Chain A
Amino acid sequence: MLTFYVLMWPAVVAGVLFFIARGFLRDWREARREGHRLI
């Protein structure tokens, strides 16, 4: 139980990391496709 409690947080962080990275790639592709700056 406590082992799961300790290790669940890095697992959630990994999920968020994937989600943000995917969002960034979409932003970048959209900016390239539409010919405007990312920022």
Chain B
Amino acid sequence: MSPEGIPGQLSAPLIIALLVLFYGGTLFISFTISRKKENADDYMTAGSKIGFGVSAASMTATWIWASSMYASATAGYTYGVSGPIHYGLWGALMILFIYPFGRRIRKVAPRAHTLAEVMYARHGRSSQLMLAGSNVLGSVISLTSNFIAGGALVAMLSPFSFQQGIVTIAGGVLLYTLWSGFRASVLTDFTQVMAMLGAVVVIIPVVFFAAGGPELFTAGAANVTPQQQSFFSSDAFLNQGAPYIAAVLAYAIGNQTIAQRLFAVREDLIKPTFVTATVGYGATIIGIGMLGVIALYLGIEPTGGDVNNLIPQLAATYLGPVLLAVFFIMIIGALSSTADSDLSALSSIMMADVYGQNVAGRKKADPRTMLLVGRVTMIVATGAGLYFASGQLNILDLLVFVGALWGALVFPVIASFYWGRVTNVAFTAATLSAIALFVPVRFELVPMTGPIGLLVDVLAVIGVGVVLGLMCFGFFGTRVALVVGVLATVVVAPFGIGFLHDYTVLSASLVAYSVSTLVCVALTLRNRESFDFSLIARRTGEFDEDDDVPTADPVPNPTR
């Protein structure tokens, strides 16, 4: 126990009861579906035929995490009424814009488990490990961030310490996910999303009316600037919105938790699942962002100057004990549903990509050993998450950095599934050269003046065209994408050149997109041979024959 809790908030017995209720309930649910002898493929993708209700709930719950709630409220508090839109809308579009590509990936690799596994079948080892490595990095950061959010919540709303909070939450998540893996993750996601979304429906109106209701906006008008009152704030767009628009496809490609659900849902239900999750995530996160807007109009100062304390602070101020307990469950549900997905994602990468394809080889991979690898991975990942969380690093800054870095992978990955001439060399060279240019721009290792500033601006403007072109490509095809990409580049050029390099986060991300695209296209055009996409389905597939499903052919050394 420590003096970190606020007197008069949730008592120690109540916190223990809530945690036992939440983690006991999820453990019971996962116990009801557990099998004495789990199937290795089901441990990763749950049989690849999940229905709409479970998959939509799971995608929504996975994408809503505690940090996104805090960040949306911070955006509302910092940028005013348009802040939550510029956080939540673009985050929601990450789910929407990936589904057309997901349908294509699923078509060429109907029985795969991870995106990196498909890259191995398409290109070979270097592309696979590059993608798997970025997926692992993203999931470990996400896991750590969720543990930190849980520990901070426990420390703020109870007499328990941050350390006690992170250990309890990490243990709870590991306990219900360990045995059945992804199957436990998706089924518990349903109950977690019911609790989370139900809490949001009640808590936002209650806080709004307790804080003064409609009168709040006239009484608190003196606390906001004209930019914060505007729905079309340029501050909010340039500092919050634009970097997120650039990251829309990058986060989706770099995140194995999305890919896992693309491979798990019944193929004909990909679109309704991802559209529902888009609306569910967007409304929930923008709605929670309204708490930040309310705090801004009230003129509230965040406890300890930390904006991450805004949501718990408002909850503690305006909610009674019952609703405060509901709020506690909402945040615990948000972070647990994402943490269990991260554990499942990490275990499937280690099972399929590391053990299944690089250690044992597809032909010799033993499903029992594979399950052991998955479970050991979960335990090690939880330990790593706890280690990093106890250091209380600024993990969200790291995630923003990694998210921008993922921009280097987007074009090579997407092009590889549509354009048969893309080679392993083109993929690898494009990604590495984009990273090599991203880092000095992002950290201003060279002065962004003169010709260098001009070069960065030109590349960033091309990056705008690439981002918008790729977004259109998934829905409307190559011709529309090319027209939109060229038009966007031409329209943005007069405004962007001489200006974009001042926004290093945005310009570095756009440079990563443009450089990877230019290098990938240039090297691909030199190749005359086209890849046979039907090979991918034969090179990926089931590892475990327990369910009488056909196994894949062994991979005949893919080197293209």
Residues of A bordering B, CB below 8 Å: 2-3, 5-7, 9-10, 12-14, 16-17, 19-28, 30-31, 37-39
Contact = CB atoms under 8 A, between A and B. Distances in A.
Contact of B205 (A2, A7, A31): A7
Contact of B46 (A10, A27, A30, A39): A39
B56 A20 contact: yes
B25 interface: no
A6 B85 CA distance: 12
B307 interface: no
7 contacts: A13-B200, A13-B201, A16-B276, A20-B57, A20-B194, A27-B52, A30-B51
B198 interface: yes
Contacts of A39: 33, 46-47, 50, 54, 183, 186-187
Interface in B272-299: 276, 279-280, 283-284, 286-287, 290, 293-294
A26 to B, nearest CB: 6
A19 B56 CA distance: 9
A22 B217 CA distance: 37
Interface string B190-225: 100110011011101100100001100100000000
Nearest to B282: A12
Q: By DSSP majority rule, is chain A's interface helix, strand, loop, or mixed?
A: helix
Contact of B279 (A5, A16, A26): A16
Given A10-B204, A23-B52, A16 B183 contact: no
B466 interface: no
A2 B283 contact: no
Contacts of B287: 9-10, 12-13
Contact of B54 (A2, A10, A27): A27
A31 B50 CA distance: 10
Given A17-B198, A20-B276, A38 B208 contact: no
Contacts of B293: 6
Contact of A23 (B56, B186, B214): B56
Interface in B43-62: 46-47, 50-54, 56-57, 60
Given A13-B283, A16-B276, A7 B198 contact: no
Given A2-B217, A6-B293, A19-B276, A13 B208 contact: no
Interface residues of B, number: 39
Nearest to B272: A23
B52 A17 contact: no
Interface string B298-310: 0000000000000
B81 interface: yes
Given A20-B280, A38-B187, A9 B54 contact: no
Contacts of B214: 2-3
Q: By DSSP majority rule, is chain B's interface helix, strand, loop, or mixed?
A: helix
The interface centre, meaning the residue of A2, A9, A14 with most chain B CB atoms within 10 A of its CB, is A9
A9 B286 contact: yes
Contacts of A26: 51-53
The interface centre, meaning the residue of B33, B54, B194, B293 with most chain A CB atoms within 10 A of its CB, is B54
B197 to A, nearest CB: 5
B205 A23 contact: no
Given A20-B57, A24-B57, A39-B46, A13 B197 contact: yes
B186 A6 contact: no
B208 A7 contact: yes
Contacts of A21: 53, 194
Given A6-B290, A23-B276, A25-B53, 9 more contacts: A3-B208, A3-B214, A9-B283, A10-B283, A12-B279, A12-B287, A17-B194, A20-B193, A20-B197
Contact of B280 (A6, A16, A25): A16
A36 B197 CA distance: 29
B192 to A, nearest CB: 12
Interface string B161-180: 00000000000000000000
A5 to B, nearest CB: 7
A38 B214 CA distance: 45
Nearest to B56: A20
A14 B53 CA distance: 15
Contacts of B205: 7, 10
A17 B197 contact: yes
Closest 7 CB pairs of A and B: A23-B53, A24-B53, A9-B287, A27-B51, A12-B283, A16-B280, A23-B52
